[in-house]
């Protein structure tokens, strides 16, 4: 999609379509009001007839509006003006793009980006618009022998800003939004791939390809090296599979030499059968998404490099399948992790924490400023927070607050759960230093408690994206979350605001 930024009056635009907003109770947005005047009250007439009530999610296409140069005018319902916030703004853009994609319009001029969103400025509006537009146009039809039949003619979008003085800010913001969108798209593409294509070797190669294209360093550790390192927990998960495990290390050196890096760790289980603690069959196909944490690290680093962020960032991706093969780990097996701590594996389906704990220990050698791990870790998180917010747990309150703020700003929210000592008890094992499961209560918290034992040497936050990384049902597919949250966080850090 090509983006253009302009300022100007809606009735004078030459394009296939101008898009303007209408609030509930017949309140016209600034641009809609201008069209209304130019057309001698044509818009108000339509609205009075009851064809457009301004409800959020509604649209109405008008043709040949008198006094207006453009052949189409798309009215987009914005909901109640008082309730128009970040979420409503993004939904309005999404609704507009969906409606445009159903028409033959090849280009459009969006008069939605000038609508004020409380506490957000022009930069935010522009960045978010660029991101939402590309996200809405996403299709995954790589495996259809006939490519999508949906007609998609929209090629060019013009965003309107009120003041010309904001032009360069707006341009920069659109660049940022597009970079984030590219990261989200990459994460979605990787997530949507079936596991017979996206195995650990493939995932590692795609990470390498992204790195090469983006000026990012990449090292891939093979099984022998993992054995040499002593990553007993990661290897225990991998041993039931015919696919060899990988540990991918990405490094973006945008910051000063010697500056401590931000480390991002992503769970890369390319398929989770549960292992010997086999999962029930219903929806097991969705366990192809169990590498979405890894995909989000790849996507976020791609965006960071594209924006040339002045930060040092390390990405670590432990990648393996979790399969119930003949040499698979059995419940009750005891392994020694890279940290030296021993783990009694009581449930082989709690494999995410096993691969992450070795990655966390591995992160120590980079002397990190802070570490964030991202994982589709627990079904319990879906029960607790549904598909709205990612679970957030941290051993540092400032870091937790900053991540929540980044999520709010990115419309990619996270919500914190407590990591109190009291929960640690459930991980006791009579035979090893700890067990890998803490029972059914507070499953998301006890999983994070397990990880916290490997994150004692640095500030650390954990994002449980089990409920947010993909959607089930009719519009099934990876969401690319939490790439927007991560990139907003990195942008803030780069801005030196933290």
Burial bucket for residue 263 (CB in 10 Å: 0-12, 13-18, 19+):
buried
Q: What's the min distance (Å) between Cβ of 450 and ligand BES?
A: 10
Q: 443 contacts which partner out of Zn ion, ligand BES, Mn ion, none, CB within 5 to 8 A by kind?
A: ligand BES
Q: 200 contacts which partner out of Mn ion, Zn ion, ligand BES, none, CB within 5 to 8 A by kind?
A: none
Which of 351, 358, 402, 409 touches ligand BES (CB under 6 A)? 351
Question: How far apart (Å, rounded) are the C-alpha atoms in residues 8 and 374?
Answer: 43
Token pair in block for residue 353: 């924490």
Per CB under 6 A, does 272 bind ligand BES?
A: yes
Our CB check for Mn ion shows the closer of 264 and 355 to be 355
Q: 135 contacts which partner out of Mn ion, Zn ion, ligand BES, none, CB within 5 to 8 A by kind?
A: none
User: How many residues sit in the footprint of ligand BES (CB under 6 A)?
Assistant: 16
Whole-number Cα distances in Å, 315 to 24, 267, 279:
46, 11, 29
- Binders of Zn ion in range 455-484 (CB under 5 A): none
Strand partners, 343: 335, 434
Residue in the shown chain whose Cβ atom is closest to Mn ion: 349
Q: 378 contacts which partner out of Zn ion, ligand BES, Mn ion, none, CB within 5 to 8 A by kind?
A: ligand BES
Per CB under 5 A, does 272 bind Mn ion?
A: yes
Per CB under 6 A, does 352 bind ligand BES?
A: yes
Q: What's the min distance (Å) between Cβ of 356 and ligand BES?
A: 10
Cβ atoms of residues 126 and 157 within 8 Å: no
Strand partners, 18: 73, 109
Q: 88 contacts which partner out of Mn ion, ligand BES, Zn ion, none, CB within 5 to 8 A by kind?
A: none
Cβ atoms of residues 103 and 17 within 8 Å: yes
Question: How far apart (Å, rounded) are the C-alpha atoms in residues 43 and 67?
Answer: 11
With CB under 6 A as the contact rule, which of the stretches 89-97, 110-118, 188-196, 342-350 interacts with ligand BES?
Answer: 342-350
Token pair in block for residue 205: 């190669």
Q: What's the min distance (Å) between Cβ of 270 and Mn ion?
A: 12
Which of 347, 416, 424, 429 touches ligand BES (CB under 6 A)? 347
With CB under 6 A as the contact rule, which of the stretches 41-49, 188-196, 301-309, 377-385 interacts with ligand BES?
Answer: 377-385
Whole-number Cα distances in Å, 418 to 378, 385, 449, 464:
15, 14, 10, 13
Per CB under 6 A, does 380 bind ligand BES?
A: yes
Whole-number Cα distances in Å, 281 to 274, 288, 292:
11, 13, 21
Which of 296, 378, 435, 452 touches ligand BES (CB under 6 A)? 378
Q: 410 contacts which partner out of Zn ion, Mn ion, ligand BES, none, CB within 5 to 8 A by kind?
A: none
Phi, psi of 459 (to 5 degrees): -70, 135
Alpha helix segments (H runs only) across 18-121: 30-38, 42-48, 86-101
Cβ atoms of residues 267 and 291 within 8 Å: yes
Binding mask 218-257 for ligand BES (x = CB under 6 A): ----------------------------------------
Question: How far apart (Å, rounded) are the C-alpha atoms in residues 379 and 382?
Answer: 5
Our CB check for ligand BES shows the closer of 250 and 350 to be 350
Token pair in block for residue 262: 């931000």
Which of 352, 368, 407, 438 touches Zn ion (CB under 5 A)? 352
Question: How far apart (Å, rounded) are the C-alpha atoms in residues 295 and 265?
Answer: 10
| Beta strands, E only, 148-285 | 156-160, 217-221, 246-253, 262-266, 268-272
Per CB under 6 A, does 346 bind ligand BES?
A: no
Q: What's the min distance (Å) between Cβ of 331 and Zn ion?
A: 16
- Binders of ligand BES in range 167-186 (CB under 6 A): none
Per CB under 5 A, does 464 bind Mn ion?
A: no
| Among 135, 138, 131, 136, CA closest to 173 | 131
With CB under 5 A as the contact rule, which of the stretches 310-318, 347-355, 405-413, 420-428 interacts with Zn ion?
Answer: 347-355
Our CB check for ligand BES shows the closer of 199 and 251 to be 199
Binding mask 268-307 for Zn ion (x = CB under 5 A): -x--x-----------------x-----------------
Per CB under 5 A, does 349 bind Mn ion?
A: yes
Per CB under 5 A, does 54 bind Zn ion?
A: no
Per CB under 6 A, does 443 bind ligand BES?
A: yes
| Among 296, 340, 260, CA closest to 487 | 296
Per CB under 6 A, does 466 bind ligand BES?
A: yes
Task: Encode burial over 414-449: b for 16+ CB neighbours within 10 A, e otherwise.
Answer: bebbebeeebbebbebeebbbbbbbeeebbbbbbbb
Using DSSP's 3-state secondary structure scheme, residue 378 falls into coil
Question: How far apart (Å, rounded) are the C-alpha atoms in residues 361 and 316?
Answer: 11
Residues designated catalytic:
279, 353
Whole-number Cα distances in Å, 197 to 192, 193, 249:
10, 7, 21
Alpha helix segments (H runs only) across 215-333: 223-229, 232-238, 292-306
Q: Point out which residues bind Zn ion (CB under 5 A).
A: 269, 272, 290, 352
Contacts with ligand BES by CB under 6 A lie at: 272, 290, 347, 349-352, 376-380, 382, 437, 443, 466
Q: Binding residues for Mn ion, per CB under 5 A?
A: 272, 349, 351
């Amino acid at each position: 999609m090509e983006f253009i930024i302009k300022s100007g009056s809606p009735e004078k635009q030459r394009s296939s379509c101008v898009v303007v907003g209408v609030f509930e109770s017949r309140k016209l947005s600034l641009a809609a009001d201008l069209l209304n005047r130019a057309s001698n009250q044509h818009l108000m007439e339509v609205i009075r007839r009851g064809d457009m009530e301004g409800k959020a999610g509604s649209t109405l296409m008008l043709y040949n509006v008198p006094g207006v140069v453009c052949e189409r005018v798309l009215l987009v319902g914005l909901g109640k003006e008082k309730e128009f916030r970040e979420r409503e703004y993004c939904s309005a853009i999404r609704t507009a793009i969906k409606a445009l994609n159903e028409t033959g319009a090849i280009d459009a001029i969006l008069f939605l980006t000038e609508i004020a969103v409380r506490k957000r400025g022009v930069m935010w509006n522009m960045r978010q618009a660029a991101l939402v537009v590309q996200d809405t146009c996403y299709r995954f039809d790589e495996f259809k022998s006939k490519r999508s039949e949906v007609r998609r003619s929209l090629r060019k979008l013009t965003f309107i800003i009120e003041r010309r003085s904001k032009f360069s800010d707006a341009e920069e913001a659109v660049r940022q939004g597009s970079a984030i969108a590219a990261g989200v798209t990459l994460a979605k593409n990787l997530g949507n791939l079936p596991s017979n294509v996206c195995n650990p070797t493939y995932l590692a190669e795609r990470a390498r390809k992204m790195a090469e294209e983006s000026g990012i360093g990449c090292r891939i550790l093979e099984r022998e090296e993992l054995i040499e390192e002593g990553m007993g927990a990661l290897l225990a998960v991998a041993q039931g599979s015919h696919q060899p495990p990988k540990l991918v290390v990405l490094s973006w050196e945008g910051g000063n030499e010697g500056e401590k890096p931000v480390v991002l760790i992503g769970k890369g289980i390319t398929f989770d059968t549960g292992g010997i603690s086999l999962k029930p069959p219903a929806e097991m196909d969705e366990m192809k998404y169990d590498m979405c944490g890894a995909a989000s690290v790849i996507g976020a680093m791609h965006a960071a490099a594209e924006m040339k962020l002045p930060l040092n960032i390390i990405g670590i991706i432990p990648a393996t399948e979790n399969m119930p093969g003949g040499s698979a780990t059995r419940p009750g097996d005891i392994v020694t992790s890279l940290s030296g701590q021993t783990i009694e594996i009581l449930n082989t389906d709690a494999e995410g924490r096993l691969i992450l704990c070795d990655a966390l220990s591995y992160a120590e050698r980079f002397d990190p400023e802070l570490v964030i791990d991202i994982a589709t870790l627990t079904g319990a998180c879906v029960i607790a927070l549904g598909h709205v917010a990612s679970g957030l747990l941290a051993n540092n309150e400032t870091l937790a607050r900053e991540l929540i703020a980044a999520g709010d700003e990115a419309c990619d929210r996270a919500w914190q759960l407590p990591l109190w000592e009291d929960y640690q008890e459930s991980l006791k094992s009579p035979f090893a230093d700890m067990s890998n499961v803490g029972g059914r209560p507070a499953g998301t918290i006890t999983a994070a408690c397990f990880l916290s034992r490997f994150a004692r040497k640095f500030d650390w936050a954990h994002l449980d994206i089990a409920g947010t990384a993909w959607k089930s049902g009719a519009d099934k597919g990876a969401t690319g979350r939490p790439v927007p949250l991560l990139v907003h966080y990195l942008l803030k850090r780069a801005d030196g605001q933290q």
